[in-house]
Chain A
Amino acid sequence: DGGITQSPKYLFRKEGQNVTLSCEQNLNHDAMYWYRQDPGQGLRLIYYSQIVNDFQKGDIAEGYSVSREKKESFPLTVTSAQKNPTAFYLCATRGSYSNQPQHFGDGTRLSIL
């Protein structure tokens, strides 16, 4: 969707290395999300943030960390503790109200070297 920028498009991680995926939005949305997508599986929630300086763990938060220092930005760090990080990572946003739709970025594909 326009207004959500994920970078880089492709990322490679070496063993023992932390990597950070960027998500920036100009939609002025309060809520931001990180999902992981694996072949044949639905999207799984890693972390979400409802407001600046606040975030909650999703269903598969182990091995990941996030920060929300600015409304526009919600970076995801994949740490060396995540033993199976190869996946497609999607960032999403939503307005303040539950009756508003989610919008997605174009994703980052992370692979292991």
Chain B
Amino acid sequence: KQEVTQIPAALSVPEGENLVLNCSFTDSAIYNLQWFRQDPGKGLTSLLLIQSSQREQTSGRLNASLDKSSGRSTLYIAASQPGDSATYLCAVTSGTYKYIFGTGTRLKVLA
């Protein structure tokens, strides 16, 4: 059974710092992995989608990498800003319609 873990559960960093968020999964037979952002009381906003054949995806200050063999993905945020404060979640799918989500990392960027 696929399990997705995100550590740490919470993180506080000063503004301007580069940071890495981690996502681990137990079954490497994934089809793709998606990173989301969730603001308090809101739905999830899709950030990046990495297919299993890809090693990384970039969007602006965000870079997500995928290492299927080790069951890990990282989300790199460059030059963090207070507006980046949110909960970041990752989700994997094995190619069916079902997704398994991690419990998220709550990020706070201090001004």
Residues of A within 8 A of B (CB): 1, 4, 6, 31, 33, 40-43, 45, 48, 50, 56, 58, 88, 90, 92, 94, 98-107, 109
Which residues of B (91-111) have their CB < 8 Å from a CB of A? 91, 93, 95-104
Q: Please state if A99 and B34 are interface contacts (CB–CB under 8 Å).
A: no
Among listed B13-21, B45-53, B63-71, B74-82, interface-contacting one? B45-53
> For the complex, what is the distance from the CA of A105 to the CA of B44, rounded to whole Å?
7
Q: Which of A31, A42, A88 contacts B97 (CB 8 A)?
A: A31
Q: Are A102 and B99 within 8 A (Cβ)?
A: yes
Tell whether, in the assembled complex, residue A98 and residue B32 are in contact, meaning their CB atoms are under 8 Å apart. yes
Tell me the minimal C-beta distance from B48 to chain A in angstroms.
9
Other A-B pairs, 15, CB within 8 Å; known A40-B103, A45-B99, A98-B32 = A1-B46, A31-B97, A42-B101, A42-B102, A43-B89, A48-B98, A99-B31, A99-B49, A99-B51, A100-B49, A101-B34, A102-B34, A102-B91, A104-B44, A104-B46
The answer on a CB contact under 8 Å between B4 and A42 is: yes
Q: For the complex, is B41 an interface residue (Cβ under 8 Å from A)?
A: yes
Return the chain B residue nearest A31 by Cβ: B97
Q: State the main secondary structure of chain B at its contact with A.
A: strand
Please report B residues at the A interface, Cβ cutoff 8 Å: 4, 31-32, 34, 36, 41-46, 49, 51, 89, 91, 93, 95-104
Quote the shortest CB–CB distance from A22 to chain B (angstroms): 14
Shortest beta-carbon distance from A14 to chain B in Å: 23
Contact check, B95 vs A98: say whether CB atoms are below 8 A apart. Answer: yes
Kindly provide the distance from the CB of A103 to the nearest chain B CB, expressed in whole angstroms.
6
By the criterion CB–CB under 8 Å, are A98 and B46 in contact? no
Are A99 and B32 interface neighbours, CB within 8 A? yes
Whether B91 lies near A90 (C-beta < 8 A) is no
A103 and B31 contact, CB distance less than 8 A: no
Ranked 7 nearest A-B pairs via Cβ: A104-B43, A42-B101, A104-B44, A43-B101, A101-B49, A106-B43, A42-B103
